[in-house]
């Protein structure tokens, strides 16, 4: 019973925290691309890597903001000098929303 209570509490916290922003499950991404709601992740990765030639992507997430009206692709990368960057893109257009050093 304690496990069930803990799972319910964790799910409630996750749901509450995710009302404005939620990670999109990986298995939903192909359908979003097919429906034209987002660009292919490979294309978005190329936009990010053009901003930081020679960089390596270390993490990425696709988030759904504002109840589905904006998909944001958030990427963390390390450049050739070892500097870490956070880059956010509008996943539908490829527009750069944020490009800053990670402190």
> At 87, is the pLDDT very low, low, confident or very high (cuts 50, 70, 90)?
very high
Q: Residue 59: enclosing H or E segment and its boundaries?
A: strand 56-65
CA distance 68 to 23: 11
20-101 folds as Nuclear Transport Factor 2; Chain: A, (3.10.450)
CA distance 50 to 12: 39
List beta partners, residue 90.
Answer: 72
Q: Residue 27: enclosing H or E segment and its boundaries?
A: none
Give domain limits for the chain.
Answer: 20-101
pLDDT score, position 65? 79
Sign of CA dihedral 78, 83, 84, 89: negative
The tens digit of pLDDT for each residue in 9-68 reads 334 333 333 334 578 999 999 999 999 999 999 999 999 999 999 999 999 999 997 666
């Amino acid at each position: 019973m304690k496990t069930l209570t803990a799972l319910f509490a964790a799910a409630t916290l996750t749901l509450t925290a995710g009302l404005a922003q939620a990670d999109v499950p990986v298995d939903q991404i192909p359908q979003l691309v097919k429906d034209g709601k987002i660009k292919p992740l490979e294309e978005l990765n190329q936009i990010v890597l053009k901003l930081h030639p020679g960089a390596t992507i270390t993490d990425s997430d696709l988030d759904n903001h504002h109840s589905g009206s904006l998909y944001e692709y958030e990427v963390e990368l390390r450049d050739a000098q070892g500097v870490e960057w956070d880059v956010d893109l509008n996943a539908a257009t490829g527009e750069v929303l944020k490009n800053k050093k990670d402190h």
